[in-house]
Structures are given as C-alpha cells and as structure tokens.
Amino acid sequence: MIRIAIDAMGGDFGPEPVIEGVVQALEERKFIPILVGDKEEILSFLPPYYVDKVEIVEASDVIDMSDAATDALKRKDSSIYKAVELVREGQADAVMSAGHSGATMTAATLRIGRLPGISKPGLATLMPSIGKHKTLVLDVGSVTDCKPQNLYEFGAMGEAYAEKILGISSPTVGLLSNGSEDSKGNELTKATFPLLKNLKGFIGNVEGKDIFNGKVNVIVCDGFTGNILLKTSEGVVATVFDLMKQYIRKSLPAKIGAFMMKKKVFVNMKKQIDKDEYGGAPLLGLKGCAIISHGASSPKAIKNAIFQAIRYVESDVNTTIEKRLSEGN
Amino acid sequence: MIRIAIDAMGGDFGPEPVIEGVVQALEERKFIPILVGDKEEILSFLPPYYVDKVEIVEASDVIDMSDAATDALKRKDSSIYKAVELVREGQADAVMSAGHSGATMTAATLRIGRLPGISKPGLATLMPSIGKHKTLVLDVGSVTDCKPQNLYEFGAMGEAYAEKILGISSPTVGLLSNGSEDSKGNELTKATFPLLKNLKGFIGNVEGKDIFNGKVNVIVCDGFTGNILLKTSEGVVATVFDLMKQYIRKSLPAKIGAFMMKKKVFVNMKKQIDKDEYGGAPLLGLKGCAIISHGASSPKAIKNAIFQAIRYVESDVNTTIEKRLSEGN
C-alpha cells in the first residue's frame, strides 16, 4: 500500500487541519499515512478510531515560517527533515507538507535528490481555466533566477505531468511571455524559445490571460514571475468577491438577488476556482514525490494534496520525465 | 489652451471610436484636439458642429498592429510619427494614440526625447484597488529587460505622478517581489532594493496581491513582469465573470437574482474595475507627455485618456520628476 509521510506540525494553524485532512482522506482512500511530529499532540487531535490506521514518527522540532529555508538541512529533529528522510530511506513513497515551503523544497531537493537530467526541480500548480482541463503552471517559486535550460526542463516535466497525472493525451505547452508573437519576450524567454521547440506539445509564446482561457495545458515561466502571477491571480479573485460583497450589503434587492444566485452560481464558482480543490503543488524533478501545500491549507486542501501524492506515485510520472529528458537532449 | 495631438487612425476599430471619444471630451472640457490622419475619413466621422472645434493634420500612412515598432521612425507620413512630431515641434502639449503601442513608445522616446536623468521611459497604468486610491504600476511594457537603475527611475517617476496627478500627499512605493520580506527577490530586484531606499515613500517589497488591497500607491516592476501581471489580472476578471454568466444561464432563480443585483452591484463593479475608466497609460520620463491607449479603446476610454493628458500637462509633473531625480542621485 502507498505510504505517505506527512509533516503533521507544518502549516499556519498547527496539526489540527492537517490531521483532520488525513482523516478525511482515509475515509475515501486506502493508504498508510506516516504522521511526523509531536506524538502527544498528534494523538490529541486524532480520533481513536484512526489511531491504528496511521503510523507516527516522533519529531521534536518544527521549522517556523520565519526561519530560513536552509534550516531544514541543519535541524535534523524537525518534522520537515524527518518526513523527507522517510522518502530518502524508502520508508515512504511521498512526502507532503503545509509547513515552510522553502524549507520543504530545500530538504526534498538535497536529501531526496534530483532525477537524472534535471538541473533544478520546479514547483507546479494547477490554475482554474474555462477550458476542459485546468492549466498547469511551473515554476511558481522554486527557482527565482532561471536559466533557459531550467525553463526547458520545466516544460518537459510539465508535459509529462499533464499526460500522466491530468490524463491529457497530447498536452500543449506554452512559454509565458509579454505577447504571443514569436519575437516577444525578455532575454531569458528568447533564449528558451528554441530549446522548447524540442517538446512535442510546444505551441510558442502565451500571455497571462491564456492561463484561464483554456488555450494551453502547461505554461512555463521562471519562479519569480510564476510566484507573482499566482499571488496576483489570488488577489484579483479575492478583490472581485470583496467588492461584490460590499455592493450587495448596501442594497436589499441585491441581497435577495445574491441569495437566489448562491446555490447555483456562487457555490459552483467557489468549487471551480477554490484552491482547496487542487490540494498542493508537486515539486517536479525529484527522485521521489514531494507535495508542497499552502500554509493556510484547510482539511479539504490537505485531503486533496494526499490524493495528489497517491496519483503521483501510482502514475509513475518520474519514469516518463526521465525518459523525456534523455530523449530531448 | 491645451493642445493635444491625437492619432486619429490608430486603434483596432479605426477612426470612429477615437473621434467619438474626442467629441465626448469636448462636451466636458475645453481643449484643442489636433486630429492626425486621413482628413476625408476624419471629417466623415466628425459631426458638423465640431468641425471648427478641432484642427486636422493630414497623414497618409497608418502603422498597423502587425508592423514593427521601429517602423514609426521610418514612416514619416504615418499618423503616429506626425502626431509625435507635433509635440517635438511645440505645436502640441501632449500626444495620445490607441494605435501600435510599441511604435508610439519608440517614436515618443526618440523624437520627443527623455527628461534629464531618465535612462528609459516607463509605461505606467492604474489598477483597481479596494483602497482609497487606485494603484499605479510601472513599467507595464516599455522596458522588457531592466537594470536596477531603470527600476529606481520608475519608482521616482511613479512617486511624482502619484503626488502630482493622483493627488496623494505622501505616496508609498513598493518593489514587486516574490514575498514581502526584505530578503526576497530575484537578482534584479535585490540589486534595486538599496537604490529605492532613496525614495521618501519606499516601503520595501510587495506581492502581487498588494496591487489590489490598497497597501501601496505605486508598484515598481520590470516591463516583462508588469505586462504579464496586467494581462493575467484582465484574464482573471474576464474569467470570473464568464464563469458567473455560464452558471447564471443554467438556472432561472439565478437569472432573476442576477437581474436584481444588476443595477446596484454589477454596474457599480464594472465602473470600478473597468479599464475604460482609466483612459490610457502615460509614458513617464519624456520631455513632454504621451498617453498610450489600448487598441480596443472605447470612446469613453479615449475621452478619459484625453482628460489624463490634460491633467498631465496642467500638473507639470515633469518638473517634479526632474527635480526628484536630480536630488536622488
């Protein structure tokens, strides 16, 4: 059975939502969660029925959001370090953490190691789209200053992930740029463009709006730009709904109207754009599987991140990534 | 009276919306529009009452959206070139074009020239915010590959613009980064950070979400990132409303609800986030004033771009920019 190491202490709200998410996941799927953290605290949140359905690995230290990412390598009693080590030692198939994402990425990259042909792993996230599939964007925060080779590898890994995990038979890959014409781009993307032509699914430059309109399945960018576009998108969505609420509050007919729209419109929309539905972001390019979840993850987000880890392991996407990169170069 | 050179031929829909926008502007404010383009075509769209309220400068050539930006310098009979020349020659106080934006920026930069202390002009745009003021973001497309000095100048110019034109007494300036901590950033922003400390209003790094939440008045970024975040934001807004319409169409109660929300919610929201309200984007750093409008500008957007040009000229923001940069360095 698939074994998933879970950093039980990470996340903005401590172990409670993480453990509740694990319980919700266990209600739907069979797998072995290995909860890493303070055993007493973990047991205090774990319903008795589930005590013999999990394994617990004691870790006395927690890396805080204000600590440096490199602390993950020095503080060997931390829940992140110990959870990552379980994958390294073959005792777990995947690791999932909603804790310090930089620390998790650093520990996973250096302790689990990279696949052959990968210079740096890339963090991939699914974004909502009105197309048939969600859009996979990478890198969204692993490599701040990229070289063309990094972006090429992100493209190859994204293509493999879209095929194997999202089930898209011939996924398309676009290079995020400041215009869709081939001539557009900055120095980095212009140097990347010819490399990406080696990918079967490469369709050229794409723009910010193409994340959402279903034009392309995989979008490649550097981690600085990716992080900014992710936070910008979240900001826009939050602002649109904040504004709407402000105006609704001021008018009785609007209040009634909003009530009538709630079930069929707002609930469905929330479901479609809610990031909790996506779970976490896989760090692609590792000799293993690491899923990085948002610090503010709800139990539902944790559950979905676990399901993502299970799909990752079952699909054997890493073999596909390795194969693609050995062919492409 | 303020004289504004207007590229009457630019824009995705030809002269009609441009001239209609000029007429709408004349109904509200006194100024002299100098319409540059095909005289016969211009007169065919201009209501007779307005014929003696405008000047017309004949231009036989139009730079198309598919032409190269540098064509603007070679094709001296084009409406963009001739409109820009009117500012250079002192016959107009400002130029406004909804045509090829790269061509307009190139012509304006090289023919009108830069203010002392400015290495490259920056394109600034206002973004919606739930704060008291809209947020000024620059650069959104003038300089694709920036040096730290470019970003510093954008900050100084944005600060001056926010003070003089937006009327904010002590505007705050943030550097767009992949996290708000001082240590965050890519090579470019890390090298820019100490330079921006010379600005009175600098508050450090800001994130994508801070564009909309009212945290900061001016956000500085390179033109590649700025262009992507602009198009991403537009894409998110369009997608949210597309999705909403899709769900509304499927349910009768939702249709009625949406109707009840229309006047007090959707109309007000549209007004608040509609880019037509903002007019155009000023190209800051010129020895003059150039307003770049969206190719798909409606008459209302053209009208607001003209008002922006009038405010720009009246406020004498260029003197403030010059002063700031000579103090700062």
Which letter does DSSP use for residue B114 in this model?
B
- Stretch (H or E) spanning B136: strand B135-138
Confidence of residue A272 (pLDDT cuts 50, 70, 90): confident
- For A21, the token pair is 């998410």
- Pick the residue with more confidence: A69 or A198? A198
Residue A207 to residue B231, Cβ atoms within 8 A: yes
* B83 inside domain: yes
Contacts A224 to B, Cβ<8 Å = 177-178, 185-186, 189, 225
Tens-digit pLDDT profile for residues A126-169: 998 888 899 999 999 999 999 999 999 999 999 999 999 999 99
Question: Which member of A129, A208, A237 has the closest CB to residue B240?
Answer: A237
Backbone angles phi, psi at A145, to 5 degrees: -110, 110
Residue A130 to residue B269, Cβ atoms within 8 A: no
Please check whether residue A45 touches B, CB under 8 A: no
Contact call for residues A317 and A165 (beta carbons, < 8 A): yes
Is the pLDDT at A119 greater than 50? The verdict is yes
A188 to chain B, minimum CA–CA distance in Å? 9
Distance from C-alpha of A31 to C-alpha of A172, rounded to nearest angstrom: 32
- Sequence-distant (6+) residues with CB within 8 A of A65 are A12, A99, A100, A295
Mean pLDDT of chain B, nearest integer: 92
Which letter does DSSP use for residue A49 in this model?
G
* A198 inside domain: no
Residue A232 to residue B232, Cβ atoms within 8 A: yes
Distance from C-alpha of B109 to C-alpha of A248, rounded to nearest angstrom: 46
Distances (CA, A) of A181 to A49, A206, A207, B57, B132: 58, 8, 10, 33, 38
**Which of A182-186, A241-245, B85-89 has the weakest average pLDDT?**
A241-245
Confidence of residue A10 (pLDDT cuts 50, 70, 90): confident
Residue A269 to residue B260, Cβ atoms within 8 A: no
| pLDDT at residue B241, as a whole number | 87
Per this entry, what is the length of chain B? 329
Residue A228 to residue B250, Cβ atoms within 8 A: no
Please check whether residue A89 touches B, CB under 8 A: no
Confidence of residue A328 (pLDDT cuts 50, 70, 90): low
Which of B175, B231, B294 best tests the A interface by mutation, with the highest count of A CBs <10 A?
B231
Which of B212, B249, B271 best tests the A interface by mutation, with the highest count of A CBs <10 A?
B212
What total number of domains does chain A contain? 1
- Pick the residue with more confidence: A296 or A171? A171
* A218 inside domain: no
Which letter does DSSP use for residue B263 in this model?
I
A183 to chain B, minimum CA–CA distance in Å? 10
Q: Is A183 exposed, middle or buried (0-12, 13-18, 19+ CB in 10 A)?
A: exposed
Complex confidence, ipTM: 0.90
Distance from C-alpha of A284 to C-alpha of A154, rounded to nearest angstrom: 8
- Pick the residue with more confidence: A329 or A120? A120
- For B289, the token pair is 């004033």
For A323, the 3-state DSSP assignment is: helix
Please check whether residue B231 touches A, CB under 8 A: yes
B240 to chain A, minimum CA–CA distance in Å? 8
Distances (CA, A) of A197 to A191, A301, A328, B254: 11, 35, 10, 46
Which letter does DSSP use for residue B133 in this model?
S
Tens-digit pLDDT profile for residues B230-287: 999 989 888 888 888 888 888 888 888 888 888 888 888 887 777 767 778 999 999 9
Contact call for residues B293 and B271 (beta carbons, < 8 A): no
Question: Which member of B232, B240, B268 has the closest CB to residue A229?
Answer: B232
- Starting at the edge strand that comes first in sequence, how are the strands of the sheet with B122-127 ordered? B55-58, B32-37, B3-7, B94-97, B290-292, B281-284, B122-127, B135-138, B218-220, B173-176, B202-206
- For B243, the token pair is 């999705």
Q: Is A317 exposed, middle or buried (0-12, 13-18, 19+ CB in 10 A)?
A: buried
Backbone angles phi, psi at B129, to 5 degrees: -150, 150
A189 to chain B, minimum CA–CA distance in Å? 10
Which residue range forms the structural domain that includes residue A81?
A: 1-118+285-317
Over residues B99-115, the mean pLDDT reads 94
* B315 inside domain: yes
Is the pLDDT at A58 greater than 50? The verdict is yes
Please check whether residue B296 touches A, CB under 8 A: no
B265 to chain A, minimum CA–CA distance in Å? 5
Of B276, B267, B270, B283, which is closest to residue B297 (Cα–Cα)? Answer: B276
Show the CA angle centred on residue B125, arms to residues B124 and B126, nearest 5°: 135
Contacts A256 to B, Cβ<8 Å = 257, 260
CATH of the domain at B99: 3.40.718.10
For B134, the 3-state DSSP assignment is: coil
Over residues B52-71, the mean pLDDT reads 90
* B34 inside domain: yes
Residue A257 to residue B253, Cβ atoms within 8 A: no
Please check whether residue B261 touches A, CB under 8 A: yes
Is the pLDDT at A259 greater than 90? The verdict is no
Over residues B120-135, the mean pLDDT reads 92
Over residues B171-193, the mean pLDDT reads 95
Over residues B191-213, the mean pLDDT reads 96
Question: Which member of B186, B209, B272 has the closest CB to residue A231?
Answer: B209
| pLDDT at residue B328, as a whole number | 59
Residue B265 to residue A257, Cβ atoms within 8 A: yes
Is the pLDDT at A329 greater than 60? The verdict is no
| pLDDT at residue B329, as a whole number | 47
| pLDDT at residue B52, as a whole number | 93
Please check whether residue A248 touches B, CB under 8 A: yes
Nearest CA in chain A to B248: A265
| pLDDT at residue A296, as a whole number | 85
For A236, the 3-state DSSP assignment is: helix
Which of B127, B180, B261 best tests the A interface by mutation, with the highest count of A CBs <10 A?
B261
Residue B269 to residue A233, Cβ atoms within 8 A: no
* B156 inside domain: no
- For B279, the token pair is 């007019």
- Stretch (H or E) spanning A256: helix A252-261
* B275 inside domain: no
* A89 inside domain: yes
Is the pLDDT at A313 greater than 90? The verdict is yes
Show the CA angle centred on residue A200, arms to residues A196 and A206, nearest 5°: 55
Mean pLDDT of chain A, nearest integer: 92
Which letter does DSSP use for residue A110 in this model?
I
